[in-house]
Each structure stands twice: as C-alpha cells, then as structure tokens.
Amino acid sequence: MFTPVILAGGNGSRLWPLSRQSFPKQFLALDGQDQGTMFQRTLVRLQGLEHSPAIIVSNEQHRFIVAEQLRVAKMTSRRIILEPLARNTAPAIALAALEATADGSDPILLVLAADHHIHNEKAFRDSVCQAQTYAEKGHLVTFGITPTHAETGFGYIQCGAAIDQGGFAIAAFKEKPSLEVAEEYLSSGAYLWNSGMFMFRASVFLAELKKHRPDILATCHVALEHAEADSHFLHVQSEHFVMCADESVDYAVMEHTDTGLVVPLDAGWNDLGSWAAIWDVGPHDAHKNRLEGDVMAIDTRNCLVQSHHRLVATVGLDDLIVIETKDAVLVANKNDSQQVKDVVKRLLVEERAEFVTHPLVNRPWGHYDTVDKGERYQVKRISVLPGECLSLQLHYHRAEHWIVVSGTARVICGDNELILSENQSTYIPLGVKHSLSNPGKVPLELIEVQSGVYLGEDDIVRFEDRYGRLAK
C-alpha cells in the first residue's frame, strides 16, 4: 500500500497557445488518447496497484479545475493542497509528506508529475512495484528513463553499482548536456533520463530534508500549521509560504542523500515539454503528420497541425507546428518548438490576455465562452452545471441581458425571483444584486449580453458565494 502524490502545479508555457496560465497543460488531453486529461490519466495509470487516495498538490488558481476533473473522472483524493505561489518540487513534496504524516501514519509516497505521457502502463506499474520494495527498506528511489536517443532537453542520472532486483546506486546527477555529451551518455549505457518521479517513505524523506535543507522543512511546517482547510481544499497562506526557498527535490535532497537509488523505467515515457514532443508520441498518418480537428493537409509532411475551432488547410509544409485556437494561432518550426516560451514571455511583458486565459473560462459552477466583444458591449455563452449557482453579486459599471437557450434558470434580481426556461429572457440593471442558479437536471445554457463603460471580470462585488470566493 502506498499513497500517490500528484504534483499538478506547472504552467506548461512551451505548449502555448493551448496551455495558458489559467489552464495549463496538465489539465488538457494532449497525447491523442481518449482517456481523459494528463492529470486524470496520471491517476488512472495507478489502477491495479494497491494504494490509498492521492494527495494532490496544485496552485490555488487551479483549485476548481482539479476538483472538477476529479468529479468528471469519478475519482477521490485524500487532500488537495493548494500552493499560493510556485516554489518548485522540494517544498511541494515536503507539504505532501507533512500532510501524509499528520495523523500519525507513515505511508510510502509515490510522487508523480501530472503531465507525463507513459505508453506502456503495465511496465510503469511493474517498476512501481519494484521501487516499492526498495522504499520499504528505507531508500529514496527515483525512476530513471531508459534513453532512446541523445536528448539534450533532459537531465541524466549516472548509474553506479547494481543492486539486487534491478536497481542501481546513484553515481551522479547530470545537468542537461550538449549533443556531444548526450551521445557519449547514450553510447556508454550507464545513464538514464531523470524523470522527476520518486518513491520513498514519508518519514525517510522528511528526515533527509531536515538533514540537507532544514530551512525548507521548517518553512513548510509553519505554512502547513497556518493553512486553512475547507471541505475540499487545504489553502496554504502566501505570507508563510513566500519565505520558502525555490528548490527542486533533486538539488535539495537527492544529490546529497546516501539512501538514494534509481530504478530503470522503460515504458515509452515522455514529459510532453514541447510541441515537438506532442508530435513525437503520435499517432501519425502515412506522411508522418499528426493531424487533429478539422485539418486539410496537402503535400504536408512531418507536421503537427491542430484545429480547435475552424478549418485549417496546409499546403507544401514540412517539419512545422501549426496550432489553431479561438483567439491565437502558433506557427513554428518543429526544431524550434522550445522557443515558444519566448512568445509567452513577450505576452507577459505586454500584458496580453492571451497569456492568461482562453476565451472559454472554467468556473466552479461551469464555464463561460466569450462570443464577441467591442466598445461598450460583450457577448458570452454561459453554461451552468445542474445544481450549481453563481454568487450573489453586483456590478458597478455594466448591465446584463440574459437569454435562456436550454435548461432552466432560477434568477434573483433585487427583491424578485424568476424561473426562466428556453427562449425566455431577463434584464439585470447596473448596481442591482443578482444571482443565477440551475435547479434542473441538465446543464443550463444561456447568452449574456453585457453593456457598459467597463466590462472587466474584476467588476464583481460578491455578497454570498458557496465556493469561498468572498473578499477577505
């Protein structure tokens, strides 16, 4: 028996425009499989292994995405720990280990990233079972990926002496190498890719962290002691967590511990860290293209082309990435796909909305999609899940018209309460308290037309909210 720890706090900037700050890559279905998002598949991959409910570590900003994807996949968690800001893997794992031992137990933890692709899931489960035997003996185990080529985008683990049952002592951790050095690593047969996956007993990890980075452990102790819990989440407070060092678990512990070892993993692993990696995992057509959505490819080879909203036609292309979304299109040479991060940096500097979010924005009650916008108006399509409710709120700068497309709407506007069905509408004046809920058993779909001098999402004053979003 072990407890999975799923690290779901990354931002996936190299996979823009599909991955955005508000909806990063781990919550997307990226590898051409019909088995859910990367986060969901990380949990599904554990089926057949004896484990307790997972501890999930994510960003405060993504809490409702995590909860909704667990609900859709009919999965449960032991605890969802929410970081107020990113502090790398050592603090994230420390929080999970402290939470796992808070009740006096001392489970073995299997630490997994939420955004990895693994083709051979049986081989993965076999390696986990192998690693568990070492973890039960007090080792800090990392998984090393059997390399298939001279890769310069990954760190490497140099294997030392062989250990019974297929593990190896860790001779050294190596940074991302040049191509020449990577080729030497590959030909030697003594190096594995560093996967960023681990297995160890919680108390052993905490003891090693105390030995090598007591500052991180102490800060995480304080942060967890002052964390605020509700029915779904454990909210770590920024005033405590901001003091924590930004450090990977490799730098903080694994490179210094005497108890570490590596278990090889040959399972078709990929960290999906670029669009080239997405192309690599396939599936491919006869011309080595990976085509998704409404795509017409003519004389096109070795390309990744994704259409998410409209027809994309290509002619005479080779080795290109073409990603179409509703509000942005990326065209890049496949060999330069790592440089997409430079686009993201520029979007951030220019404070462009395309850095933060898609036109379709998820909320705990459902989602909305911006259909059109212009001077003094904005049109949205809103979907409210059965039984869910938007907050009781008002706007100082805009009025709203609501038209029900399908389903049933319960509307509170000032002192009035209305029940609206298909093709019925209502008007929400500027400055009037209002709320919207779905009392039915099917999703409520409506069109919202906003009009006013300012239409930003920050023009919301909440008075009641079941999702804990009231201003403090």
Q: Which pLDDT belongs to residue 32?
A: 61
d(CA 162, CA 172): 14
Q: How confident is the model at residue 168 (pLDDT cuts 50, 70, 90)?
A: very high
User: What's the whole-number average pLDDT of the chain?
Assistant: 93
Distance, CA of 348 to CA of 325 (rounded, Å): 18
pLDDT at 13: 86
Distance CA 306, CA 291 (A): 6
* Mean pLDDT (whole number) for 91-110: 96
Q: What is the CATH number of domain 3-270?
A: 3.90.550.10
For residue 221, the model assigns a pLDDT of 94
Alpha-carbon Rg for the chain, nearest whole angstrom, is 24
Measured N-to-C along each axis, helices 202-212 and 89-100 cross at an angle, to the nearest 10 degrees, of: 130
Is residue 333's pLDDT more than 80?
A: yes
What is the rounded average pLDDT of the residues 89-94?
96
Q: How confident is the model at residue 287 (pLDDT cuts 50, 70, 90)?
A: very high
Please state, in angstroms and rounded to a whole number, the distance separating the CA atoms of residues 362 and 366: 6
Residue 235 CA to residue 252 CA, distance in Å, equals: 24
Over residues 214-227, mean pLDDT: 94
Average pLDDT for 333-337: 92
Instruction: Determine the Cα–Cα distance for residues 466 and 20; give it in Å rounded to an integer.
Output: 26
Question: So what's the pLDDT on residue 468?
Answer: 80
What pLDDT shows up at residue 164?
A: 81
pTM, whole model, 2 decimals? Answer: 0.88
Which pLDDT value is given to residue 261? Answer: 95
Calpha distance 326→372 (Å, rounded): 11
Q: Using pLDDT thresholds of 50, 70 and 90, give the confidence band for residue 37.
A: very high
3-state secondary structure of 333: strand
Portions of the chain given CATH number 3.90.550.10: 3-270
Q: Which residue, among 188, 162, 161, has the nearest Cα to 177 in the 3D structure?
A: 188
Buried b (16+ CB within 10 A) or exposed e, 91-112: bbbbbbbbbbbeeeeebbbbbb
Strands 156-162 and 168-174: antiparallel
Nearest to 59 by CA among 90, 37, 30, 88: 88
Judged against a pLDDT cut of 80, whether residue 162 lies above it is answered with: yes
Domain covering 360-464: architecture:
Sandwich (2.60)
pLDDT at 25 over 80: yes
Above 90 in pLDDT, residue 31? no
Q: In the chain, which residues fall in CATH 2.60.120.10?
A: 360-464
- Tally of CB atoms within 10 A around 52: 14
Treating both helix axes as pointing N-terminal to C-terminal, what angle do 202-212 and 214-225 enclose, rounded to 10 degrees? 120
| Closest among 4, 272, 13 to 117, alpha carbons compared | 272
Q: What is the pLDDT of residue 362?
A: 85
